[in-house]
Structure 1
Amino acid sequence: MDDSPQVQEIVVGVDALPESGPALEWGAAEARHRGCPLRLVHAVDLGTATLSRRASAGATSLIEQSGRDLLAEAAAQVAARHPDLEIAAAVSIEEPAAALLDATGPYSLLVIGSRGRGGFSSLLLGSVSRRVAAHTECPVVVVHAPPAPAQGLSVLVGVLGEQDVPVVRFACTTAALRSAPVRALHTWSAVSDAGHMVPLVNSLDEEEREHMALLSRTVEAGRGDFPRGQVVLDVVGGPAAAALVEASAHASLLVVGAPRRGRLGRLGMHLGSVVHAVLHHAHCPIAVVPVG
């Protein structure tokens, strides 16, 4: 569909069961859609065991074995529902964010869930999801509840500007796999944008047309061979986060972009208020696509 890196594997971060169930099922279904293998990753917390002088090597082995048992159960659940899917599993002794980042590359799609009891706890409301989404080389999908039935629902993509062409590209590719339409949403504010993006306009109507033209150019550059008639362009006034959260109630997936920040430990992990808000409040799974 385009010359951007194509997803070649789906990686799912598995915490506890059944808490990881929605992310596991979403990842398995996505692997089936894309015709690629599924890899399950679990991070075990060896910090307490390895730092304690009284901990034995046997205790460490038991902790690692419990992680392998968890992944075996998760893989069995997936295989029962998707018998033709290629599934691999790996236990990591790194801290959760590093484990997930090291398990992925530019040709991966990473799927993580919500809070659990183990190594990926507090994925949505804690630091792990923010760190992963800020530093990943690949798109990250956060699934924080059992997704609603997606039949007939669009893939919603938030478009800030022309830097979001890869975000549109990912949304269109994902929608094509589901035979779903795309809704591209762009927001603007007369107060914040006046004199900034289109300084020569002298009416709100003309400014809105400029924003629609911006959205149209970005979608056209990113849609590839996705049918133009299956894309709805929507320009609305007001805060972007509120508009995206509201629209997500009628979407199967919300796709947003986040600036590339580099690997852990090199740069900060700020994602921006819009991405942070949708990670907390969206009504459907959220895909964060690195841009820039």
Structure 2
Amino acid sequence: MIKQIVTGVDDSATAYAAALRAAELAVALDADLRLVSAYGKFESERLEAGTEAILVTTEQSAYGLAGSVQARIRRELPTARITISAESGKPADAMVRVANDLSADLIVVGNRRVQGPTRVLGSIARDVAAHAPCDVYVVHTN
């Protein structure tokens, strides 16, 4: 029985399509969905405006992106149970790590860069499938 689904998100239309499909599956299966936004490495920048100073990090940006995707999906699927996380590293590594941590039953990925010459050079879907601790569902997003 599928109870925990993991998918990765970025700001692309194809990632959103895969995340929406993951959410549809989660609702249909009464499962929880974790949206993972990966960021390469932790970096920070201090922004100053007058007497105010704000620290902006890659982790915060990734978390904010996941939150905006979560809100967008909830508008379409209000009953979806969705949590978010920002994870360091490459997208495939981050999804596999989160799937391991959550004992996930399914990872959902899009098929962007799976066709043509790049399929030989590498893709997130291929890397996830090679290292996933669970089943992998590849969504046709092209």
TM-score band, normalised by shorter chain: 0.7 to 0.9
Report the TM-score, using the length of structure 2 for normalisation: 0.77
Tell me the equivalent position of 1:104. 99
Q: Partner residue of 2:16?
A: 21
Instruction: Letter of the 2:127 partner, please give it.
Output: R
Superposition pairs for residues 239-258 of structure 1, below 5 Å? none
SS of 2:10's partner is coil
Partner of 2:70: 75
Structure 2 Cα separation of the partners of residues 43 and 107 of structure 1: 17
Residue 58 of structure 1 corresponds to which residue in structure 2?
45
**Contact 1:12-1:112 within 8 A present in 2 as well:** yes
Tell which structure's C-alpha radius of gyration is larger: 1
Higher strand share: 2
Mapped contact 1:16–1:70 kept (Cα < 8 A): yes
Higher relative contact order (CA 8 A, sep 6+): 2
What is the alpha-carbon distance in structure 1 between the residues aligned to residue 95 and residue 71 of structure 2? 21
Amino acid corresponding to residue 106 of structure 2 in structure 1: L
Show structure 2 runs of 5+ residues with no match. Answer: 47-54
Deviations 1:101-136 (A, max 9, x none): 111145421111244xxxxxx466324322210121
- What's the CA shift for 1:94? 2.1
Q: How many residues align?
A: 127
- 8 Å Cα contact 1:14-1:112 kept in structure 2: no
Cα RMSD of the aligned pairs, angstroms, is 2.3
Q: Which of 20, 34, 37 pairs up with 1:39? A: 34
TM-score, normalization by structure 1: 0.40
Secondary structure of 1:15's counterpart equals coil
Where does residue 113 of structure 1 map in the other structure?
110
1:129 alignment partner, SS class: helix
The one-letter amino acid paired with 2:20 is: E
By how many angstroms is 1:97 displaced? 2.1
Structure 1: where are the runs of 5+ without partners?
1-5, 50-56, 116-121, 147-292
- Equivalent-residue separation in structure 2 for 1:93 and 1:44 (angstroms): 5
CA distance in 1, matches of 2:104, 2:12: 27
Cα distance in 1 between the residues matched to 2:135 and 2:97? 14
1:143 corresponds, among 105, 114, 139, to 139
